Amino acid sequence: MEQRPLKNHRHKTEEIEKKGMSTSVVWNRQIFSFWKILAISALLPILRKLAYPEPLRTCDLVFGEGPRMSRTLIILFRRDPSKDRSGQEIHYEGYQPFWPDGRPVAVGLDAFCQHGQRLLSLGRHLAGRHERLIRMTCFPLGGREDSLTRLPGYRVRRFFIERQGPVGRIHFLDGTPTTAVFEIGRDEPRVLHWIGLSGLDDGDRQWFDLAATPIETIPIPRSRTWASEIYNLS
């Protein structure tokens, strides 16, 4: 008679342990499912980008439209010997700039010295080619002493642009003026916005890092509508 309570107690203890174990298993499964959902949610955007890569655009604001935001242009430079010229013992190699859809770019920049050719992977870097598609990103800076922008696969150089009237001239780091001149009313607005001239007042200057890298392949338009969406055709 005295052992019955002990058996009942042991039986109840076993039932409680079983319930506790089942509850623990349920919680473990719920926690596992929760982390599984989080992992899938984090991977979905990456998988979507891999499966459906974004097409190239002729003008892409990388981080926004503010005065200190980086801005990117994609331009095809085609070799044009008729635009070759020399000045002050410096040889400039001529090129015709085009948007990726084949339209010419309205800009006065049509020849580059050795520094420009190296930055844009043109000149001898063409290795027998006659043209090259270049992605160029302009990073506006707060001043000359800002840290240099570093991007894997890009060549980067620091310049400043100074506006005098409607004209903006690019200068090297040491203040030496270049022959690269942009002009409001002559050059395309998207180019002026990219280089930052349209946001400067007369006499102002803006320091920036220019990063450039060649793009070896471009998407072939499947239709006029598709091309319009990618290249902003009018």
Q: What's the domain count of the chain? A: 2
Phi, psi of 208 (to 5 degrees): -160, 155
CA dist 168 → 8, 179, 182, 187 (Å): 94, 11, 5, 11
* Structure-token match 């992977």, residue found: 121
- pLDDT tens-digit profile of 136-156? 999 999 999 999 999 999 999
User: Strand pairing of 205-215 and 177-183?
Assistant: unpaired
Confidence at residue 108, expressed as pLDDT on a 0 to 100 scale: 87
Residues 36 and 139 placed together within one structural domain of the fold: no
> In sequence order, which residues have a C-beta less than 8 Å from that of residue 213 and are 6 or more positions away?
121, 134, 135, 151, 153, 154, 155
Residues 125 and 220 placed together within one structural domain of the fold: yes
Residues 133 and 78 placed together within one structural domain of the fold: yes
Residues 74 and 32 placed together within one structural domain of the fold: no
Percent of the chain residues topping a pLDDT of 90: 56
Global pTM reads: 0.63
Residues 111 and 219 placed together within one structural domain of the fold: yes
Interior/surface letters 87-116, b for 16+ CB within 10 angstroms, e for the rest: eeeeebbbbebbbbeeeebebebbbbbeeb
Structure tokens at 149: 């922008």
Range of the domain at 217: 59-231
Residues 124 and 214 placed together within one structural domain of the fold: yes
Residues 43 and 75 placed together within one structural domain of the fold: no
Confidence at residue 42, expressed as pLDDT on a 0 to 100 scale: 72
Confidence at residue 55, expressed as pLDDT on a 0 to 100 scale: 41
Confidence at residue 89, expressed as pLDDT on a 0 to 100 scale: 83
Residues 150 and 215 placed together within one structural domain of the fold: yes
Residues 110 and 202 placed together within one structural domain of the fold: yes
pLDDT at position 223 over 70 = no
- pLDDT tens-digit profile of 75-108? 999 999 999 998 878 999 999 999 999 999 999 8
